[in-house]
Structures are given as C-alpha cells and as structure tokens.
Homo-oligomer: A and B are copies of this chain.
Amino acid sequence: MTAPLHEAHPTGAGRALPNTQQGMRRRNLARVMHTVSAEGPLSRAAVASRIGLTRAAVSTLVDELIRSGLLEELGPERPGRVGRPGSALAVSGRGPAGIGAEIGVDHLAVCAVDLRGEVRSRAIRHGANRGRAPEPVVAELHQLVRRVVAEAESEGLWPAGLAVAVPGLVARDARTVVRAPNLDWRDTDLADLLPTDFSLTVGNEADFGALAELWLGHGTPRDFLHVSAEIGIGAAVVVDGGLLRGTRGFAGELGHVPVQPDGPECPCGGRGCLEQYAGEEAVLRAAGLEPGEDRVGLLAGRAADGDEAVRRALRDAGTAFGIALTGAVNLLDPESVVLGGALAGLAPWLLPSLEAELDRRTAGPACPVSVSRLGPEGPLLGAAHSVVRAVLDDPVAVAERA
C-alpha cells in the first residue's frame, strides 16, 4: 500500500503525508534522514536530541532505515567526552541514487548523485542542439542516461528517479516542455520520449539552479531570488526553502519585467522588457559582436581583455538588471539576490552597476547581491539532488521499491 507522494513536482514541497500514525512515522523517518544527511555522522542519541524524540524511538527508526539500506552504521565514535561513545550513523553510499540530466543549448549532461550528495558518475556530450527536433536529442540523452545508470549500478547504486533540466517553461505536470525558445521546442512531452523504469520529472533549468544554490550553496538563506540567464533571463523565487512556481508554473519571468515602458518592442508583446537590455542577444549587439558559439565565454574574455565596448554593454545591462531587481526586491523582500548560471561568469562587470542601481533605488539597507559558486554546474546538480531530496523526504516510499 503506497500512497501517492510528490504528486505535483519534486522541485517543490510535495509533502502531503496523511495525518495518521503511519504518516507520523514516515515524517519521523524523514526527519532522521535529513538530520543525518545534513549534520554528518551522528549517534542515535544526537539525532534524538536534535529532532526532539527519545533515544528509544530513534533506535527503532534507525533500525528500519538500516534494514532498508538507507543508513549505515560506521562503528563507535572516538570519544572526547565522558560516557559511552555512540555508534556513528551515516547516510548510505550505496542504495538509491538521484539521476540528474540537463538539456542545454550546446550540450547534454547526465550525472548520478548518491544519498550522501556525492557525484558518482557523469557523462557529457557537447554539440549544438538549437533547432534540432526533440526526438534525436532525447534519444542521445537516453544513451547518456543508460551509461551513467550502468556505471552507478556497478558501484552498488540503483536509480531512484530522473530529473531533467531544460531551458524553457515546463508545465505543472512536470513532464511537458511548454516552450523552449533556445531549442525551438513547443509542447513536448518528455515522458513519452524518455521511457524509464524509474520516475521522470522535468523542470526549468533556472529553477534547478536555484535549488542547487539552496541545497549546496554556503550560507544561502531560505528566502532569496536566484537570477540566471542563457538567452532568456530567468529568475527563481525561493520562499521559505521552497520554490515559488506560480499558477501555471511560469513564475520568475524576470526577463519580461518592464524596465523602460517606452523601450524597444519585445516578442512577448511588451516594450522595454529587461531582456531587451540585458538579454544575451541585446548585450552582444550593444557590444558590437556577432552571435557565435560560446557567447558568454566570448563576452567574458573580451571584457577581461579590457574591451571598452563590451564593458560598457555589460555595465548597461547591469543597470537594467538593477532596475528590474528593484521591483522584484520591493515586491518580495528577499534576504539576498544570487546571480547564477551564465551570469556568474559575467558578474565582475555586471555587479558594480547592478548594485549601484539597486542601492540607489531602495530605501534602508540594500538587499545583498552575491554570485553563485556553483556556476554552470548548478542546474545539473540541482536536478540530481532534487531526486535525492525526494528520497530523504519519504524514505519508506523508496525502501518499498528496493
């Protein structure tokens, strides 16, 4: 008897365990997993004091988790304190693994992450995907997935799910890509194209990047705005440790926030959207460069070389970002703003004007802006970790499948 869990989306709080004794137990199992996962090797007594249960209760919970292969007993702790030393518990390095995949404009990537959060296998394939039909692209991705899964299995892992990051809008069913302008895909159901034994969920690349920042970033708060950009400009709103997705799943469209109401027309129907000033295409044009292969790298390289036109273009883009973010910060009052994805690499030239504009326009202490250290790896890692989190959130569900 398995209740449907995470019905909506693994990148969101899909927690809907029933309020029964069994639900309570499942929540407590999840709390043990989360505690051990977050705070390293811990004794049963330490876990008990952290989650507010008795040692006896934690003992039975841990027993069940060990039997399921989700926790491991590392042996006695080396004691520095008086008293009998505890037996260290750690999340298992075998058992379920999260498979993350990314469909980028210029590459495909897949990786497997174990419950400890370590990447155990990865595969990448470079090559432009823009304008290619979904079927061959997904077929290639499928190959990579099989390779990564095989390698993970050879290390004693088994896939608990696959999460795919795509550069576009994803419907709330977490299966279909509604619109991916960089790939020229529309209404593509990836679940049809990518048959697997395990669960498949599709999510926006920027959203997964934000989750990676939330889960893997150092000192990242639970309320922040994560801005990333490839061609479009996407933002992810993280509220209380969860992603804000919006009614249709379209939240975070920072790129179409009006910056100059009388500015140039935008394909979205508006005028003067942020994308018209800070989008990749706009910046390249302002810098007098031709769109080529590695556009972000090109910009960063030229800027580092001291190309004044490029620097000015990035400065102006930063100013436009500052204006749009002023609106977002006023509306959401986040604890910080994080620049991730491709923007992280351009931060040195964007940040000064961006922060100046934001500071100038907001009363009181300004909202701090930081740069993601995950960089382009973010979305892939976020996707894989979203599966891992789903396991931690409901350990029995996967234990039953093992």
Contact = CB atoms under 8 A, between A and B. Distances in A.
A268 B361 contact: yes
B259 A335 contact: no
A331 B328 contact: yes
Nearest to A261: B323
B253 A333 contact: yes
A145 interface: no
A327 interface: yes
A363 interface: yes
A35 to B, nearest CB: 13
A247 interface: yes
A244 interface: yes
Given A28-B19, A323-B261, A324-B327, A270 B360 contact: yes
Contacts of A267: 363
A348 to B, nearest CB: 24
Contact of A269 (B27, B255, B362): B362
Given A323-B258, A335-B247, A362-B268, A24 B20 contact: yes
Contacts of A127: none
Interface residues of A, number: 52
A338 to B, nearest CB: 14
A79 B332 CA distance: 51
Interface string A237-266: 101000011111111111111111100000
Interface string A344-365: 0000000000000000111100
Nearest to A257: B327
Nearest to A19: B27
Contacts of A248: 333
B270 A333 contact: no
Nearest to A221: B247
A60 interface: no
A223 interface: yes
A363 B269 contact: yes
Interface in A222-237: 223, 235, 237
Interface of A: 18-21, 24, 27-28, 31, 52, 221, 223, 235, 237, 239, 244-261, 267-271, 323-324, 326-328, 330-335, 360-363
Top 3 A-B residue pairs of the complex, sorted by shortest distance between their CB atoms? A246-B333, A270-B361, A257-B327
